[in-house]
Amino acid sequence: MRTDELDFHLPPELIAQSPSIQRAASRLLHYRKSTGSIAHRVFTDLPGMLRRGDLLVFNDARVLPARFVLRKNTGGRIEGLFLAESTPGRWRVLLRNFGRSPDHDLAFESEPGLRATVVAVHEDGQYELAVAGSEPALVILGRVGRMPLPPYIKRDKDHDGRDSADRERYQTVYARTPGSVAAPTAGLHFTDAVLAELDSMGIQRAMLTLHVGLGTFKPVTAETLEGHSMHVEAFSVDPAAAELLNRAQADNQRIVAIGTTSARVLESWPADRPWKAGSGETSIFIYPPYRWKRVGALLTNFHLPRSTLIALVAAYVGLEQQREIYKTAIQQRYRFFSYGDAMFLE
């Protein structure tokens, strides 16, 4: 399949630069594959579109305030993105404007007394940073970090005073497992009230964890999808989720993936094996004409052109249907990408 088949023109003003005033006030496009129908709703309509007995599968990954700024002794500014803490005090990071010559005395801009040193440069372009002190990375980032908003959000993310708001809104209300550098955005629309309504309807919820990495924003640059090297992401399944998934499969209940990250975990599990608690990694790349094994419905946001995520949507509904859905969403002025609106695909 050619990558340019996943291209489309999006008016820049439809790229959401901030979230809706209320989480569940976002719009919701509803597509039924059986009839090809498209309806325009709001997110609070979702519970009425589900079936009693549905199992909704969420990704409970929590986004880290992973962006930070370092200063050289010369005053030079280095932008950083935390990826992982390999051992205590050793961070795997991406750095911008670091330059060629190592500077062995860097200071965190928002906490100058906290020092760091670059101790290694890896072949994949990542750096290893030694951070002084004995505090865990998560504690330090809580003080010096900012939320890692995607690059298509163009407002000034350092100086506009919105980071405290982003810490709430670029995070699902059920996030509990820290480690992601991007949000599982389909879940951003849920509120405690919507979740309570689902509970009252007998609609069950299972929580998986997949830590979203930078690869989610990586465009497909190869001419064909087969030529793309898919990124690897870590996931985990706890005993409660495994039990719910096995019961749903045994009772022939519909499994609804909340977001493409949940869908990737579900489809990564072998169809002939029962679910078991544990952890693993997935590099599954879903694109037409993929044969789906477990996902019976999908809730997702609108995705970037030429991305692995729009390829997944095309695999779910069909390429021509995906194009029609996106064409309609643009005509109807839906908001796109992370802080944008959602669609429910049956």
pLDDT in tens, 198-212: 999 999 999 999 998
Length of the chain: 346
Give the helix/strand (H/E) hosting 255: strand 255-258
Residue 231, pLDDT score = 85
Phi and psi at 308, nearest 5°, equal: -65, -25
pLDDT score of 217 more than 70: no
- CB burial of 266-293 (b: ≥16 within 10 Å; e: otherwise) equals bbbbeeeeebeeeeeebebbbbbeeeee
Residue 142, pLDDT score = 94
Q: Is the dihedral of CA 259, 260, 261, 266 positive or negative?
A: positive
pLDDT score of 157 more than 70: no
Comparing C-alpha atoms, which of 162, 151, 142, 154 is closest to residue 62?
A: 142
- Per-residue pLDDT, averaged over 318-342, amounts to 98
| Token duo for residue 330 | 């643009």
Q: How many Å apart are CA 28 and CA 342, to the nearest integer?
A: 5
pLDDT score of 229 more than 60: yes
- Per-residue pLDDT, averaged over 51-71, amounts to 96
Comparing C-alpha atoms, which of 209, 282, 208 is closest to residue 245?
A: 208
Entry pTM: 0.93
39 to 30, 183, 329: CA distances (angstroms): 5, 26, 10
Phi and psi at 101, nearest 5°, equal: -95, 125
- Per-residue pLDDT, averaged over 46-63, amounts to 96
Residue 102, pLDDT score = 61
pLDDT score of 160 more than 90: no
Q: How many Å apart are CA 119 and CA 131, to the nearest integer?
A: 10
